[in-house]
Chain A
Amino acid sequence: MTDYLDEEVDEEQKKVIVHHLADCVDCQTFMMTAKKTVNEPFGNVESINPDEFLWHKIKRMIEAEKQRQNKPTIGILSMIRDRSRILIPAVVMAVVVIVVIWTDIITFKQSSFYKKETTDLSQETFLGLNSDMEDESVEHALMKNVNFQTAIEEYFL
């Protein structure tokens, strides 16, 4: 329907639609309603001519734009403004890099500290167990008067 109303159908399709409309009363009614509602109101619209002042206003804006573009950039403010275009992204980038490196260092330190702590603890536990075992075996040997065949043993015994 849309294509037919806008005459965007090819000759072949147009023939088929026209042929169908000739026989179908419902479609004829629908098409007439559609034309009346969808096409006709917009066809009667009057175009508005722009006022002369509008061009003068635009012309003034263009001239102001031209002046702004041609204005030489001098002074501290313009220097800061020009440099800030490069400096601001560079500073942001540097901050991001520092934060990333700092986070990495902290994470690495924490993980290595944890590793060291775990290793120390296991060594201590291991040594502690051994020393207990040693003490026990020495005590046991003394009680049972076992001869270890050492010089110090001879001295004490």
Chain B
Amino acid sequence: MDDIPEDIIIKASKGDIDAFEFIYKAYSKPVLNVAFRIVDNMVDAEEITQQVFLTIYQKLNKFQFQSSIKTWIYRIAINCAINYVRRISRERDRMVEYSEGLYSQSTVGEIEEHMNREEREETVNSLLKVLTPDQRACIVLRNIEGLSYQEIAETLKININTIRSRLKRAREQLLALRKKVMNDEL
């Protein structure tokens, strides 16, 4: 996922739908994944992805090439997802229904693989749940999307030291959670 050529961005900003599709194809996956990790719900993540790309389309003519398009798109995605989380506080559990549907049609090997995947997913989701939306955004960008501290700072438009402290606090919380889980198991 490298930065998109400038002429494509300019064409898309003038309303060229093919150029915009190029941008969509390059960034829809990270946008959907970031949204999913923050809102923890696929239906909502897809809705956020739509909203993000509509915003990109509307604001692309204001993009001034001062930052990379990558961090600009991540910023829109993170802001949309965090606002969504803050707006919708009620709990929803659509993923469970989705998982139940999958089990009914799978072979034993597939079920095992699915269970392992489910377990990993569950671990990640439970870890992310203990974090605030801001900390979650930092962890997702760093650990899942692999952005550098500098890129995260540019994406979230905050100081690099704030990123450091948010990551530090988030990890302290994750370690504390692990300690608590281990104590409970004992």
Chain A residues engaging chain B, CB cutoff 8 angstroms: 1-3, 5-6, 8, 33-34, 37-39, 41-51, 54-55, 57-59, 61-63, 65-66
Please tell me which stretch of B72-80, B96-104, B117-125 contacts chain A, meaning at least 4 of its Cβ atoms lie within 8 angstroms of it.
B117-125
* Identity of the chain B residue whose Cβ is nearest the Cβ of A59 in the assembled complex: B17
Q: Are B28 and A50 in contact (CB under 8 A)?
A: yes
Shortest Cβ distance from A51 into B: residue: B46
B 109-129 binary contact with A (CB < 8 Å = 1; else 0): 000000001001101100100
For chain B, the bracket of interface size reads 35 or more
Q: Are A65 and B54 in contact (CB under 8 A)?
A: yes
- Chain B interface, >50% SS class: helix
A107 to chain B, nearest CB (A): 45
Question: A41 to B120, Cβ gap below 8 A?
Answer: yes
Q: Does B58 count as interface, using CB distance less than 8 angstroms?
A: yes
A6 vs B151: C-alpha distance when bound (angstroms): 13
Total cross-chain contacts (CB, 8 A): 85
In the complex, the answer to whether B57 meets A50 with C-beta atoms within 8 Å is no
| Distance between Cα atoms of A57 and B53 in the complex (Å) | 11
Assuming A6-B167, A41-B123, A62-B57, is B175 touching A48 (CB within 8 A)? Answer: no
Check A62/B124 contact, CB under 8 A, given A47-B29, A54-B49. Answer: no
Of B50, B121, B174, B178, the contact of A58 (CB 8 Å cutoff): B50
Closest chain B residue to A62 by CB distance?
Answer: B57
Contacts A3-B164, A6-B149, A55-B24: A45 and B120 contacting too (C-beta < 8 A)?
yes
B148 at the A/B interface (Cβ < 8 Å)? yes
Residues of A within 8 A of B178 (CB): 33, 37
B residues bordering A, Cβ < 8 Å?
A: 15, 17, 20-21, 24, 28-29, 32-33, 36-37, 42, 46, 49-50, 53-54, 57-58, 117, 120-121, 123-124, 127, 139, 142-144, 148-149, 164, 167-168, 171, 174-175, 178
Q: How far is the CB of A63 from chain B (nearest CB, A)?
A: 8
CA distance A54 to B33 in the complex (A): 14
Question: Are A57 and B124 closer than 8 Å at their CB atoms?
Answer: no
Give chain B residues whose Cβ lies under 8 Å from the Cβ of A8. Answer: 148-149
Chain B residues within an 8 Å CB radius of A57: 50
A42 to B36 CA separation, bound complex (whole angstroms): 14
18 contacts between A and B (CB under 8 A): A1-B168, A1-B171, A5-B171, A6-B149, A8-B149, A37-B174, A39-B143, A41-B127, A42-B143, A44-B120, A50-B49, A55-B21, A58-B53, A59-B17, A61-B50, A62-B54, A62-B57, A63-B17
